Amino acid sequence: MNNNILGLHHITAIAADAQRNYDFYTKVMGLRLVKKTVNFDDPGTYHFYFGDEHGTPGTILTFFPWENISKGQAGTGMATEIAYSVPQGSIEFWKERFKKYNVPYTEVSERFGEKILSFTDPDGLQLTMVEPSKVDTRTGWTTAEVNKDVATKGFHSTTLMLRSIEPTAKILTDIFGYELQSQEGNRYRFATNAVEQANLIDLLEAPDGPRGYNAGGTNHHVAFRVADDNIQMEFRDKILRKGLQITPKIDRDYFYSLYFREPGGVLFEIATDNPGFTVDEPLEQLGTSLRLPKQYEPAREEIEKVLPVLH
């Protein structure tokens, strides 16, 4: 059993319109909705999970669509960019697709020798497509319009903007087993070799950057992956020994979670592979019906009345 941090597990952000969010990620991006549930702390709001066929850790982007929430501000103490790995030669396809669907994007450029295309979702969340220099063997979810030659394969990396990178870098290196791999200007790339993919975190040092404000179109937290909840509790001890506060283990039905705020201000989570998304519906039917945690099942009728109807 691998007792390391296994790269990214999922990333969670805030949207302002459930239908618009659902349409963008399933149709334009061509991801699979692997789970449609509610925010366990606020059951009148959806919690969407978008990923590959299985909702494999390292592919899962999740949203709380709070209807009409005001727009947030990406900035320091926050993940400010989410990068997807896409097949070699597919960036032109995505550029054309963004043109077609009026998705704002910036011109194709290079970062650490890899071709990138940055764009924003309908809430202004910053995303990037990356053609990695190392072959990504993961299989992306495909749709009628997004075939396997162009489909996203899961996360490439995420960028955290920080006033000073040092305290966050220490969490990554001393607790999570990452190492500084390369640097380009104020961008420092950390990698773990515990896994092949979704194993990169970029720290962007911005001493005068705007402070992040969490609302629509911004990141809520970044979850790191561990194999199971025994290993998770070992990390809990390590974090406590560093003098940081961390929550007890929380059952999220599809994984177990621990949350802590790293010293740079970003909300980190440690999430497990077990039990996974097929715990309450079969693989073929993932995301097709509203799943509720058992404490809310008796209130299903009222909850369904409050949630916006998706078309």
Residues that bind Zn ion (CB under 5 A): 12, 223, 269
CB of 69 to Zn ion, least distance (A): 18
Q: Judged by CB, which is closer to Zn ion: 136, or 269?
A: 269
DSSP element (H, E) containing 21:
helix 18-23
Min dist. Cβ of residue 252 to Zn ion (A): 7
The structure tokens listed for 5 are 């941090």
* 235 within 8 A of 279, measured Cβ to Cβ: no
Q: Tell me whether residue 130 or residue 223 sits nearer to Zn ion (CB atom).
A: 223
Least distance to Zn ion, CB of residue 269, Å = 5
- For 184, the 3-state DSSP assignment is strand
In angstroms, the CA 105 to CA 82 distance is: 14
Nearer to Zn ion, 178 or 256 (CB): 256
CB of 206 to Zn ion, least distance (A): 25
Going by C-alpha positions, the residue among 211, 217, 191, 219 that lies closest to residue 203 is 191
8 Å CB contact between 116 and 94: no
Closest CA to 200 of 16, 22, 5, 7: 7
CB of 90 to Zn ion, least distance (A): 28
Nearer to Zn ion, 59 or 118 (CB): 59
- 223 vs 286, beta carbon nearer Zn ion: 223
